[in-house]
Amino acid sequence: MDEAGRRVADEDLLTIGRFARLSGLSIGALRHYDELDLLRPARVDRFTGYRAYHRDQVERARTIGRLRDLEMPLDEIRAALATDDPDVRRAVLTAHRDRILARNFRLQFVLHQLGQLIDPTKETPMTSAPPLPPEVDPTTRRALAVGLFNRVWQLLETADRTQEQDDEMVHAAHASRYHWGEVPMHERKNLAIGEWQCSRVYAVLGRGEPALHHAQRSLDYVDADPDAAHWLRASSYEALARAHAVAGQRDEAFIWKAKAAEELAKEPDKDDREIIEQDLATLPI
> What integer is the mean pLDDT of 107-121?
76
In a domain, 245, yes or no: yes
Q: What's the pLDDT tens digit per position in 200-229?
A: 999 999 999 999 999 999 999 999 988 899
Are residues 147 and 30 part of one domain?
no
In a domain, 130, yes or no: no
DSSP string of 101-144? HHHHHHHHHHHHHHHHHH-SSPPPPP--SPPPPPP--HHHHHHH
Alpha-carbon span 255 to 249, nearest angstrom: 10
Residues 248, 208 contacting (CB under 8 angstroms): yes
Question: Strands 13-15 and 43-44: what pairing?
Answer: unpaired
Are residues 200 and 103 part of one domain?
no
Are residues 105 and 54 part of one domain?
no
Residues 175, 198 contacting (CB under 8 angstroms): no
User: What is the domain-level CATH number for residue 67?
Assistant: 1.10.1660.10
Are residues 225 and 147 part of one domain?
yes
DSSP string of 24-63? T--HHHHHHHHHTTSS--SEE-TTT--EEEEGGGHHHHHH
Are residues 32 and 142 part of one domain?
no
Is the per-residue pLDDT at 1 higher than 50? no
DSSP state of 14: E
In a domain, 129, yes or no: no
Sign, Cα dihedral of 127, 133, 137, 138: negative
Are residues 156 and 277 part of one domain?
yes
pTM score over 0.85? no
Are residues 218 and 95 part of one domain?
no
In a domain, 46, yes or no: yes
In the chain, the number of structural domains is: 3
Q: What's the pLDDT tens digit per position in 26-65?
A: 999 999 999 999 999 999 988 888 899 999 999 999 999 9
Are residues 152 and 31 part of one domain?
no
In a domain, 182, yes or no: yes
In a domain, 187, yes or no: yes
**pLDDT for residue 136:** 79
Are residues 23 and 54 part of one domain?
yes
Q: Which of 213, 206, 180, 212 is nearest to 194 (CA)?
A: 180
> What integer is the mean pLDDT of 1-23?
70
**pLDDT for residue 119:** 74
**pLDDT for residue 138:** 82
Are residues 222 and 150 part of one domain?
yes
**pLDDT for residue 3:** 46
In a domain, 232, yes or no: yes
- H helix and E strand count, the chain: 13, 3
Residues 100, 71 contacting (CB under 8 angstroms): yes
Are residues 144 and 113 part of one domain?
no
User: What is the domain-level CATH number for residue 153?
Assistant: 1.25.40.10
Residue range(s) defining the domain that contains residue 182: 138-281
> What integer is the mean pLDDT of 141-145?
89
Question: Is residue 133 very low, low, confident or very high in pLDDT (cuts 50, 70, 90)?
Answer: low
In a domain, 249, yes or no: yes
| Run of H or E including 277 | helix 270-281
Is the per-residue pLDDT at 5 higher than 70? no
Is the per-residue pLDDT at 247 higher than 90? yes
Domain endpoint, select from 66, 96, 124: 124
Are residues 220 and 261 part of one domain?
yes
